[in-house]
């Protein structure tokens, strides 16, 4: 329906066993529409991968989907650029990839639904409830996800609630409460890039084959309370409070059997379920190891990080395709979305405008043209062609990928582990796996995210971020800034005047040639760092100015360097002692004559106050 108002559909059988289009039912540019007690289903042949999608809500207002069933589709419900959508008390099962997906949609309520028995295909990003920003232009706000049950059942492993931002719009006022996720993938509940986040009263119960957690990242004004989960990953947040959260141990076989029996007899998510999920323990202070790709329903092992610093992305080839003519699909002067389906060899030409070009299984050529274009690459045979001064372009790569000339930015998706830049100032982002990322030439920004990553900047003044995991960062040539993040990291500055900040963990910092700065902040000194290649003659400095040297006062005090003398009992003293040819730096921050932190400066026998910024 298009341009309709004030309609209610109820008690209907929606048989889409012979689909007529990608989205079988569509509500477009309409308002005040209610779907009540409708039975949507696909072919019912036991294989949702060969079915299309159920319901699309686009550019509409005040739409309700209540008490309905969605069975055997690739995707069930999608909301695009709409306002005032309520998805209430529905059943979603025997689906391939996504239950409910929202993009650019505000004032959303997803409440009291049941999601189970998903069967994702290889390369899918399966989620029960998912919000994205790709393809939208306005920030979504006032999103409520509450009282839903998401359970594995007899299907594969999927993520529960996944709210993320690909293009920098973010979200305002996101509330996720009283949901139950059992047997899910690692992101049981995940919210990123949001302001005003409430995560309360949720249960994320792991099975023994897959740890599942609650994750909040790069958000502001976050309230976490009374949740139970396998772990908590909280990174890059500001104004975060956390009370009453506990760790929930993986469910036993008996608990899983009891859960399945309970599900067969109950439809109310909130009644009696949480009580059978006992086994909580205090939240540990460390984040868990991030597992591998979410795309397959079985749990793969964590790959070993590659050791090469400037990799060449391997190419995945289709087996001996038959020689066929190239089909050309040209866009308009506007913002086009061009997609290759099947294995045809196609050439997509976006033309002017901010276009989205999606490759397929054939050997395709994607030409964005003028404008800020987005490329989605799922096959190694696809080639991107961009002209100079053709806008700022972005590639989402589900396979290992090297940026073509004149393409600026790369975001690896789950399934890819190698990303290589070009001579431009690239922004490259890894995945939750052990990635191998290389910026090459230009002033690059490279971020590893979770996993034990290997990152190299190459030439240029680069910014490298290891984030979580035990990472290896190599700045290469140029004046680089290296940030290890969590984990026991290795940071190599290379040539140039570099800034090295290991972060929490026992890190190894190697300055190389040039005047390097070794930076420490509160929380960075929980382990003993090693500084290698320190040279006073080259102008290297150890920066402790961000630390409060005297914890007995309210002021931000500076350290007093006392050389090799013993601590006198005065808070804020900094000394060194040579042990086996290495200078060990100690700081007494409370005046008890006991070192509160230690830094091992390897191969150095003398330090002066000039070697520090205090």
Distances (CA, A) of 386 to 237, 278, 315, 366, 439: 36, 56, 20, 9, 18
| CA distance linking residue 597 with residue 113, whole number of Å | 51
- The closest alpha carbon to 156, from 28, 366, 300, 267, belongs to 300
- β partners of residue 238: 220
Q: What is the pLDDT of residue 25?
A: 92
Q: What is the pLDDT of residue 253?
A: 82
pTM comes to 0.50
Query: Can you read off the two tokens belonging to residue 401?
Result: 């990928």
- β partners of residue 451: none
Give, as one character, the DSSP assignment of residue 545: T
Order of strands across the sheet with 98-103?
A: 23-28, 53-58, 75-80, 98-103, 127-132, 159-163, 187-192, 213-217, 232-235
- β partners of residue 462: none
| CA distance linking residue 606 with residue 173, whole number of Å | 54
Q: What is the pLDDT of residue 301?
A: 33
Residues of the chain with pLDDT under 50: 267-276, 278-324
Beta-strand relationship, 246-248 and 280-282: antiparallel
Beta-strand relationship, 180-182 and 203-205: parallel
Segment (H or E) for 173: strand 171-177
- β partners of residue 402: 420
Contacts of 48 (CB under 8 A, 6+ apart): 42, 72, 73, 74, 94, 95, 96, 119
């Amino acid at each position: 329906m298009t341009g309709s108002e004030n309609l209610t559909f109820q008690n209907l059988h929606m048989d889409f066993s012979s689909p007529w289009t990608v989205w079988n039912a569509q509500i477009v540019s309409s308002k005040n529409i209610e779907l009540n007690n409708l039975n949507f289903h696909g072919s019912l042949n036991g294989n949702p991968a060969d079915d299309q999608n159920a319901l699309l809500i686009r550019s509409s207002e005040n739409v309700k989907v209540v008490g309905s069933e969605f069975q055997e589709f690739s995707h069930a419900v999608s909301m695009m650029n709409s306002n005032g959508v309520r998805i209430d008390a529905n059943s979603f099962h025997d689906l391939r990839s996504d239950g409910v997906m929202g993009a650019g949609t505000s004032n959303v309520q997803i409440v009291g639904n049941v999601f189970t028995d998903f069967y994702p295909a290889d390369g899918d990003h399966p989620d029960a409830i998912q919000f994205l920003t790709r393809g939208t232009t306005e920030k979504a706000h006032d999103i409520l996800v509450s009282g839903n049950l998401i359970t594995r059942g007899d299907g594969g492993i999927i993520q529960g609630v996944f709210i993320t931002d690909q293009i920098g719009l973010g979200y305002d006022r996101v509330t996720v409460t009283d949901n139950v996720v059992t047997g899910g993938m690692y992101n049981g509940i995940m919210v990123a890039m949001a302001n005003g986040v409430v995560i309360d009263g949720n249960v994320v119960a792991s099975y023994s084959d897959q740890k599942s957690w609650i994750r909040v990242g790069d958000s502001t004004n976050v309230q976490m309370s009374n949740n139970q989960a396998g772990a908590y990953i909280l990174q890059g947040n500001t104004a975060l409070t956390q009370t009453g959260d506990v760790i929930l141990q993986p469910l036993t076989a008996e608990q899983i059997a009891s859960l399945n029996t309970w599900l067969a007899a109950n439809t109310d998510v909130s009644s009696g379920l949480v009580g059978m999920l006992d086994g909580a323990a205090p939240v540990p202070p460390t984040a868990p190891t991030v597992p591998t790709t979410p795309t397959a329903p079985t749990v793969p092992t964590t790959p070993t990080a590659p050791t090469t610093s400037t990799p060449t992305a391997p190419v995945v080839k289709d087996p001996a395709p038959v020689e066929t003519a190239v089909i050309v699909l040209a866009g308009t002067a506007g913002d086009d979305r061009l997609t290759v389906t099947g294995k045809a060899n196609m050439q997509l030409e976006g033309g002017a405008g901010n276009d989205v070009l999606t490759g397929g299984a054939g050997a395709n050529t994607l030409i964005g043209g003028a404008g800020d274009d987005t490329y989605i690459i799922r096959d190694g045979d696809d080639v991107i062609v961009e002209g100079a001064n053709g806008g700022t372009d972005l590639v989402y790569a589900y396979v290992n990928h090297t940026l073509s000339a004149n393409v600026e930015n790369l975001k690896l998706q789950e399934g890819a582990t190698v990303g290589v830049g070009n001579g431009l100032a690239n922004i490259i982002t890894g995945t939750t796996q052990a990635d191998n990322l290389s910026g090459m030439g230009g002033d690059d920004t490279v971020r590893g995210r979770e996993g034990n990553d290997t990152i190299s900047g190459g030439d240029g003044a680069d910014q490298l971020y290891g984030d979580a995991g035990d990472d290896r960062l190599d700045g290469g040539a140029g004046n680089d800034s290296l940030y290890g993040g969590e984990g026991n990291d290795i940071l190599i500055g290379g040539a140039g005047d570099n800034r090295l900040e290991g972060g929490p963990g026992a890190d190894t910092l190697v300055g190389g040639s040039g005047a390097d700065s070794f930076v420490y902040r509160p929380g960075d000194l929980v382990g003993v760092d090693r500084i290698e290649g320190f040279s006073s003659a080259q102008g290297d400095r150890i920066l402790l100015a961000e630390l409060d040297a005297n914890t007995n006062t309210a002021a931000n005090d500076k350290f007093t360097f006392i050389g090799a003398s013993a601590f006198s009992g005065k808070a804020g003293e900094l000394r060194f002692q040579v042990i086996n040819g290495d200078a060990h730096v100690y700081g007494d921050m409370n005046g008890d004559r006991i070192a509160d932190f230690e830094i091992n400066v390897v191969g150095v026998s003398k330090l002066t106050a000039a070697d520090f910024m205090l």
